[in-house]
Amino acid sequence: MYENYHDKEWGVPISDDRKLFEFLILELFQAGLSWYTILKKRKNFINAFDNFDCHKISVYDIKKIEKLLSDKEIIRNRLKIISTISNAKAFIKVQKNYGSFYRYLSEFKNKHSEPGEHLDPLNNFSPLAKNISDDLKKKGFKFLGPKIIYAYLMASGIINGHQTDCFRYIELKS
């Protein structure tokens, strides 16, 4: 499962906002857990969270929250579920202000990243991830820090996180 995800999906640049939202929420749920756990439950997350439609998620009510908290097929963490709803609302605002979330990320990367930007080995995130994380928090996003955003930027192909000796590094080099 890991190999298939790595070889076919991880790090492939995404411009579709629904998919970007999915990856963001999956990274949020992965915090403190293994990625294997998320991959195993991914289809269940897609079903439980209305195919990661941010507009539907943004209007989830207490009934829906309780339903999610009782769903044994997903991660049943109240804070992560409530943060997902809050993040859906903030995601929609970013889309309205920038035209799309992808455009926001692209503009942010173009304005704030430096060529050859590298991971901070002591903290497991990059300066770009820290800048985006700080900005997203100002925009109302919850449960997202620089480590989650760094993983998100690599998974969604905004930055190439493959090792230079990995066959995918060359294929995805932008």
Catalytic residues: 5, 27, 35
Q: How many CB atoms lie within 10 A of CB 83?
A: 20
Burial classification of residue 173, based on how many CB atoms lie within 10 Å of its CB (0-12 exposed, 13-18 middle, 19 or more buried): exposed
DSSP state of 52: G
Write the DSSP assignment of the chain as a string of letters. -HHHHHHHTTT-----HHHHHHHHHHHHHHTTS-HHHHHHHHHHHHHHTGGG-HHHHTT--HHHHHHHHT-TTS---HHHHHHHHHHHHHHHHHHHHHSSHHHHHHHHHHHH--TT---BTTTTB-HHHHHHHHHHHHTT--S--HHHHHHHHHHTTSS--S-TTSHHHHHH--
